[in-house]
């Protein structure tokens, strides 16, 4: 233990998590750039446009509905977090506004912890929440996201390790072991918070973690959100060769996490490279067409809608303040 503490102090002083995070982001982006060049330098743009035009309208509508359902589920991340920190006075409509706009902006701009947090603070401050309370909301919402990811990927890696191997290139037995280990860690966490109240943080920044039953609810919310998102992508992948939903879901979620880790706006380049590597069986032009439509539905459209909503809200607040000032 003494050796571990000494190593931890040395690591923090000489390297630091911030520098390590930047280095990992740059490595991921560099690898993605190489992959994209190898996969797309001979791509036929005309075929991609034709493939986009020939995607069935019904599939686009179904995918859009899954995207809408996913963003609807995201609103419960904030509602759950608000109730967890004891702010039951904030209504669902405010949680829905903060949840939708913060995730829409964070997904596209990148560095979602900061960009999404800034949007949340702007909305919640009108209801009397301070910066510490907003930080707690971001933490609880992030915990819901990661618990859902661990559950889905743990099951996917354990049940169908081949899908994981397609993207991480690791042996099947290792991916299955990783999946089982993830589920065991998740079960251990649920057992840890089941009865005894668990509080983390220091001094003014302390958060009481949800108990076991509420943690299970967190996991369910995260699973539903990820399932809707994966389903939106699954509808848009080419029909041949046929691939099971669980395979696409594992690949999609892993690719999304890689994009998240890279901190690139919308996981641009990283997410796409991971999908192209893992789904190599599909025609490249057809798969790229599906990815572009998905990006339009999941990233660009919600982002534009969120900016419009935030702009209208700011205009109304400014108009109200001026009117009250005049009175």
Do the domain assignments include residue 4? no
Structural domain span for residue 172: 24-322
Do the domain assignments include residue 289? yes
Do the domain assignments include residue 219? yes
CA distance 301 to 28: 26
- Among candidate residues 134, 69, 133, 65, the one with its CA nearest the CA of residue 102: 134
Answer yes or no: are the C-beta atoms of 248 and 224 closer than 8 Å: no
Do the domain assignments include residue 286? yes
Each residue's pLDDT, cut to its tens digit, for the chain (327 residues) gives: 444 344 345 445 444 445 555 666 666 666 656 666 666 667 778 888 888 888 899 999 999 999 999 999 999 999 999 999 888 999 999 999 999 999 998 888 766 777 888 899 989 998 999 888 998 999 999 999 999 999 999 998 998 888 888 887 888 999 999 999 999 999 999 999 987 778 887 777 788 889 888 999 999 999 999 999 999 999 999 888 888 898 899 889 888 888 777 777 777 778 888 888 888 888 888 999 999 999 999 999 999 999 999 988 888 877 776 676 655
Please confirm whether the linkage preceding 268 is cis (ω < 30° from 0).
no
Backbone angles phi, psi at 95, to 5 degrees: -60, -40
Q: Which residues pair with 61 in a beta bridge?
A: none
Domains contained in the chain, number? 1
Do the domain assignments include residue 191? yes
Residue 166 neighbours by CB distance under 10 Å: 19
What pTM was estimated for this model as a whole?
0.85
Do the domain assignments include residue 86? yes
Pair of tokens at residue 50: 């034709």
């Amino acid at each position: 233990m003494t050796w571990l503490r000494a190593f931890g102090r040395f690591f923090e002083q000489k390297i630091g998590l911030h520098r390590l995070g930047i280095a990992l982001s740059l490595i991921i982006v560099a690898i993605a750039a190489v992959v994209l060049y190898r996969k797309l330098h001979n791509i036929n743009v005309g075929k991609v446009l034709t493939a986009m035009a020939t995607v069935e309208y019904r599939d686009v509508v179904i995918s859009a509905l899954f995207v809408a359902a996913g963003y609807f589920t995201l609103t419960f991340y904030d509602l759950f977090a608000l109730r967890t920190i004891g702010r039951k006075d904030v209504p669902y409509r405010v949680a829905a506004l903060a949840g939708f706009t913060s995730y829409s902006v964070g997904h596209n701009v990148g560095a979602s912890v900061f960009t999404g947090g800034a949007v949340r603070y702007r909305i919640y401050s009108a209801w009397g929440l301070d910066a510490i309370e907003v930080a707690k909301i971001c933490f609880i919402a992030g915990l819901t996201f990661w618990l859902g990811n661990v559950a889905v990927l743990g099951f996917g890696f354990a049940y169908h390790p081949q899908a994981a191997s397609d993207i991480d290139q690791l042996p099947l037995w290792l991916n299955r072991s990783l999946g089982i280990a993830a589920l065991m860690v998740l079960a251990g966490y649920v057992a840890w918070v089941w009865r005894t109240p668990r509080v983390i943080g220091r001094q003014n920044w302390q958060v009481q973690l949800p108990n076991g039953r509420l943690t299970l609810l967190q996991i369910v919310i995260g699973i539903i959100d990820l399932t809707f998102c994966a389903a939106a992508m699954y509808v848009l992948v080419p029909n041949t060769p046929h691939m099971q939903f669980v395979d696409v879901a594992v690949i999609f979620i892993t690719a999304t996490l890689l994009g998240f880790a890279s901190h690139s706006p919308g996981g641009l380049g990283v997410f796409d490279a991971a999908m192209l590597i893992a789904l190599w069986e599909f025609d490249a032009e057809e798969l790229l067409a599906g990815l572009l439509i998905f990006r339009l539905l999941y990233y660009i459209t919600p982002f534009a809608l969120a900016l419009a909503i935030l702009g209208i809200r700011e205009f109304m607040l400014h108009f109200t303040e001026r009117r009250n000032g005049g009175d």
